[in-house]
């Protein structure tokens, strides 16, 4: 158990809908990262938050947004869902510093039908 908690584990929804994925980082970690894993794109970085502020953005679609709250949990919002958004979404957390280990949660498997 990495200490990173993601909910829900599975999500099935329809095209055009909006969903929210939730992540609680390890105790004491201020950084939260979101990644998408799919068969065709592999593991792709989406976004990084540190203590409530956005630090870095990857190839995140405009339909996707994220935030980190004062209690450090983070939410990834996916809207106007398309079939191609079906993937495994991972959250990771780390301490601050050079080369910290990112600890990954169990992931949320999103299926868009």
Q: Please give the residue ranges that form the binding site for another protein (CB under 8 A).
A: 2, 31, 33, 35, 42-45, 48, 50, 55-58, 90, 92, 94, 98-107
**Nearest distance, CB of residue 113 and another protein, angstroms:** 20
**Nearest distance, CB of residue 16 and another protein, angstroms:** 27
Those residues with Cβ within 8 angstroms of residue 48's Cβ, 6 or more apart along the chain or in another chain: 31, 32, 33, 34, 54, 55, 56, 57
> Which CB atom, from 108 or from 112, has the smaller least distance to another protein?
108
């Amino acid at each position: 158990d990495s200490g990173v908690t993601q909910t829900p584990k599975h999500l099935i929804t329809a095209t055009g809908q909006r969903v929210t994925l939730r992540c609680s980082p390890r105790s004491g970690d201020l950084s939260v990262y979101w990644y998408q894993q799919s068969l065709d794109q592999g593991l792709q970085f989406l976004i990084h938050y540190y203590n409530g502020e956005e630090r870095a953005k990857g190839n995140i679609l405009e339909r996707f947004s994220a935030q980190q709250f004062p209690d450090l949990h983070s939410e990834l919002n996916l809207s106007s869902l398309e079939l191609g958004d079906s993937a495994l979404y991972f959250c990771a957390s780390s301490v601050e510093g050079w080369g910290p280990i990112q600890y990954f949660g169990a992931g949320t498997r999103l299926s868009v039908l």
